[in-house]
């Protein structure tokens, strides 16, 4: 998995916001507010490359069980892929 470079993470007024730029801004009108875990996923998705590595990183960083982490990562990354923010 790899982030679409036309989306960038910015901190605005204390909130982590995913913002469309370039060509993505032509088709995606808006911003997405990310919580701490979602921001971590976004920031580490390129380095981890696979769901299993991403889940392992989350388990190291956050106090969460593996089943919940897996469900959340799969759901969030599926949505990112669907919206074109991440490519497989």
Confidence (pLDDT) at 23: 87
**Cβ-count burial 3-18 (b if 16+ within 10 Å, e if not):** bbebbeeeeeeeebeb
Confidence (pLDDT) at 30: 82
CATH code for the part of the protein at 2-87: 1.10.10
Helix pair 36-48, 51-61: axis angle to 10 deg: 130
Confidence (pLDDT) at 49: 86
Confidence (pLDDT) at 27: 86
DSSP 73: H
pLDDT one-digit tens code per residue, 43-67:
999 999 899 999 999 999 999 999 9
Confidence (pLDDT) at 20: 92
């Amino acid at each position: 998995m790899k982030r679409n470079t036309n989306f960038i993470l910015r901190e605005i007024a204390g909130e982590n916001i995913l913002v469309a730029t370039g060509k993505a801004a032509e088709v995606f009108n808006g911003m997405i507010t990310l919580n701490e875990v979602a921001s971590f996923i976004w920031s580490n998705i390129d380095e981890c490359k696979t769901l299993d590595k991403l889940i392992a990183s989350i388990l190291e960083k956050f106090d969460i069980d593996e089943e919940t982490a897996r469900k959340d990562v799969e759901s969030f990354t599926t949505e990112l892929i669907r919206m074109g923010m991440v490519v497989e």
